[in-house]
Structure 1
Amino acid sequence: MSTNWTAKRERKAEVKSRASEPSAMFSRCRVVGCSRPARAGTGDGLDTRFCRSHADHYARHGSPYKASYKAHEINPYRAAAQAWVEANQSDAYVANAIDRVATLLRTAGPHVEAFRLRGLSPQERAKAAWARLRKAGIDPRRVVATWLAVEMIIRDDPQAERKAEFKQVQAAKLVHRMASGTHKQWGEGPTATELHVYPRPRGRVLRHMGEALEKACELLVEHRGSDLFKRSPN
């Protein structure tokens, strides 16, 4: 993965210059009830839709107002989905999804330590995340079950965010955490030096991962979703 540092510096300078010039056209964040201006109207960024707070929320959760599901909310669905996948792994559509996820892991490219991600594009970082999962030996069935769990909880949520992007980000965050960091140790005993680096799960990296995972599981959800949803914890 090579990086054109000169082009990146020039692009960074251009964006910084544009972001420092506030526009009066964007005087209000688009989230209902928010009185703050969009970032493009403050000289704090180029976002024409959201204020800084809601822009950050959107980057991390896939929605400017809906928060990610908490562990105690999603874990029962993950357990139910995992059990269903394992019980039906010989089914053609389940096997297809597992194979597609295995292909994502296998074709992700070389493993890249988390502290070497700086300068990579979001798509390259997404591939690096898949490579970390492969190196960690993550079972593709767990990844498939995670997507199904998100499908299930959104279906049961009376106040769900129905946009595909939210679903993609929710699943990608859970998958990303399965092998999110790089851990190094030099020496032994009390004089040992340790390094622990965890990439932040947010932004376009999650979108790339979520889109790939959705495509891997789309036939499974289309053809076996009705049976799966009957196993919902709620």
Structure 2
Amino acid sequence: MSTRNTRQKRRDEVVSKAKQPNHMYGYCRVIGCGKPARAGTSDGLDTKYCRAHAEHLQRHGSLHKGSYGAKELNPYRQAALAWLLDNEHEFWVKNAIQRMQGLYQQAGPHVEAFRLRGLRPKERAMAALARLRKHEVDPRLVIAAWLAVEMTLRDDPQADLKPEFKRVQVAKVVHRMASGSHKRWEREVHAPDRLGRSPRIVVEELHVYPRSRGRVLRHLGEALEPAVELLVHHHLDAVHAFKVERDAKGKYDDRPYPKGWSARPRKRQPDSA
């Protein structure tokens, strides 16, 4: 039997098993949730959580806590980057930048966002890092994102302190910085338009953004953590104190970066003739 037939047979078996409710799993393990776990319905094989809580965990890295928004993270990201720029001479800052640059180089070839279908989650995570390298995203911006999440967790009175939540929160920010793939091209069309013009040049665009959820975020967060963990260990207190002092002076706004900075500058496309 060919590998393709084997995979199809296995897929059919899993689908068939998922459609058979197992009444031993009658309740979701989240306290206060009265819904059955997915294995107790015809909706899946998850023996722990209902669909709603499983989806929340996949998307946010926590069963209860939602992701931090830009309004919460941006003052921390801006302060972290400002501190990094003021302290580039520090050994652990230089070490983190070098490690992040090494991670960029080890990410593998650049893969367009519309060619990710069929890749494993770890390969998709590495593709996100390759997009950062391709678009020349400054490593300091990625490091600042990690420091920002660390400080946000420190100041959050109801923070989820599990490592998975922190990694997912950083990965969501970095995944957005990697953005997607954007293509623009022209083609000649011979069919007349409403004004009878033929042939004519038509401009077409393709914009594809990878989904930010699931195991891809876990792999991305796990890949980033070793690059910044020593900087966090040695200087997080100093970065946080800098942010507190900065807030007291009112020196911040709602942008993630200071003026003149952007993760991925947009190149203006020339107008079509």
TM over 0.5: yes
Q: For 2:85, what is the secondary structure of its paired residue? A: helix
Matches within 5 A, 1:35-184: 35-184=34-183
Aligned equivalent of 2:205: 194
- TM-score with structure 1 length normalisation? 0.93
Of 220-229 and 117-126, deviating more is 220-229
Q: Deviations for 1:168-206, whole angstroms, at most 9, x for unmatched residues?
A: 000000000012211112207972121111110000000
Structure 2 Cα separation of the partners of residues 9 and 198 of structure 1: 29
- Does 2:226 correspond to 1:227? no
Secondary structure of the residue aligned to 1:185 is strand
Query: Residue 242 of structure 2 aligns to a residue in which SS?
Result: coil
The Cα of 1:145 is off from its aligned counterpart by 0.5
Cα distance in 1 for partners of 2:16, 2:243 equals 50
Contact conserved, 1:98 with 1:140, CA < 8 A, in 2?
yes
Q: Which runs of 5+ in 1 are unaligned?
A: none
1: distance between equivalents of 2:128 and 2:236? 27
How many aligned positions are there? 231
Deviations 1:75-128 (A, max 9, x none): 101011111111112211111111111111111111111111111100000011
In 1, Cα distance between equivalents of 2:133 and 2:5: 32
More helix by share: 1
Q: CA shift at 1:5, angstroms?
A: 5.7
**1:229 CA drift (Å):** 2.1
Displacement of 1:10: 4.5
Q: For the residues of structure 1 that align with 2:13 and 2:118, how far apart are their CA atoms?
A: 17
Deviation for aligned residue 1:12? 3.1
**Secondary structure of 1:187's aligned partner:** strand
Q: 1:152 touches 1:232 (CA, 8 Å); kept in 2?
A: no
Distance 2:10 2:207 in 1: 30
1:215 to 2:226 alignment: yes
Residue type of the partner of 2:179? S
Instruction: Quote the Cα distance in structure 2 between the aligned partners of 1:230 and 1:113.
Output: 40
CA RMSD of aligned residues (A): 1.8
Moved more, 146-155 or 186-195: 186-195
SS at match of 2:114: helix
